[in-house]
Amino acid sequence: MTKELTETESKRGLQLLGLAEGPLALASRSPRRRELLERLRIPLFFVDVDVLEGDRATDERPEAYVQRLAERKLDAALDEADRRGAYAVLSADTVVVVDGDVLEKPEDEADAARLLGRIGGRWHDVWTGMALEIIGRRERATCAERSRVFFDLEDHEVRETYIETGEPMDKAGAYGIQGWGGLFVPRIEGDYFNVMGLPLSRLRRLCLELEGKAAP
Question: Which residues are marked as active site?
Answer: 93
Residues 168-175: what's their mean pLDDT? Answer: 94
1 falls in which pLDDT band (50, 70, 90)? very low
Measured CA to CA, the distance from residue 126 to residue 102 in angstroms comes to 10
Cα atoms in the 13 Å half-sphere on the side-chain side of 75: 9
Q: What is the pLDDT of residues 80-120, one digit of tens each?
A: 999 999 999 999 999 999 999 999 899 999 999 999 999 99
CB atoms near residue 139 (< 10 Å): 14
38 falls in which pLDDT band (50, 70, 90)? very high
Residue 170's nearest CA partner among 29, 26, 27, 76 is 29
Q: Say what percent of the chain tops pLDDT 90.
A: 86
pLDDT at 186: 97
| Residue 215 scores a pLDDT above 70 | no
Q: What is the SS3 assignment for 150? A: strand
Let me know how long the chain is. 216
C-alpha torsion sign, points 80, 200, 171, 43: negative
Whole-prediction pTM value?
A: 0.91
Q: What is the pLDDT of residues 128-153, one digit of tens each?
A: 999 999 998 888 999 999 999 999 99
- Report all structural domains of the chain as residue ranges with CATH numbers, in order of start: 7-210 (3.90.950.10)
Cα atoms in the 13 Å half-sphere on the side-chain side of 132: 24
